[in-house]
Amino acid sequence: MISAATFHVITTELVVGSFALAGISFVLCLLLNLQILSKQSLRPAADSVAHAALLFGLLATPFAVVSGISSVPGGGLSSPILVNKMLMSMTGFGFALSALLCRWRMGDSVWNTPSSTWVQAISGGAASTAMLLTASAGGTFTRGESLLDILHLPYEHVLLFPVPLSGVYLLAGILLLVMGWKKSSSSIEH
């Protein structure tokens, strides 16, 4: 039987790798749809990889969260860094879920209009960013350092996101809800 800490390392690497691959693929999808990159034959593959990696990361996230809470000495959310990890991972989970649900409901037509392209790319990118920030906070908690130390992120404070960034995330969430509602009501009418 492996320990919770070892299982957490394994699941965390799966989550981070999946979300990193999804993030790169969402950027590629955005560049292809904005015609900054001209190789349109990559579009279906980039779309499939972005959403498959996002789905895999989404499925692995609960295992990483539960094993992480189980492996912390002294129990669950005993540190502001751990609270921030929980908040960021759940934020990333929400963005990933919204991107996947939008793709499932709209199909590949999600890339057909500039507004839905931007929303899909931002949602997938926000999910990836939140999960990579979660991993960075984990490095700070366990080793006292992380790859993102150059950004001097305030992991020790429970309110990690500055107010402007929280506003951007809130607006993105509202925009996703409105787009989903409009799509649902238009499909019901037809």
Average pLDDT, the chain: 78
Domain assignment present for residue 165? The answer is no
For 29, 101, 102, the CA distances from 110, given in Å and listed in that order, are 11, 11, 7
Q: Answer yes or no: is pLDDT of 147 > 70.
A: no
Per the confidence metrics, is the pTM higher than 0.75?
no
In a domain, 169, yes or no: no
pLDDT of residue 9 exceeding 60, the answer is yes
Percent of the chain topping pLDDT 70: 73
136 CB-side CA count, 13 A: 20
pLDDT at 12: 81
Tell me 158's DSSP state: S
Give the range of the structural domain holding residue 48, as residue numbers without chain letter: 4-159
| Number of separate domains in the chain | 1
In this structure, is residue 110 part of a structural domain?
Answer: yes
Q: How confident is the model at residue 22 (pLDDT cuts 50, 70, 90)?
A: very high
Instruction: Tell me if 49 is assigned to some domain.
Output: yes
> Within a domain: residue 28?
yes
Examine residue 181 and state whether it is found in any structural domain, yes or no. Answer: no
pLDDT band of residue 55 (cuts 50, 70, 90) is: very high
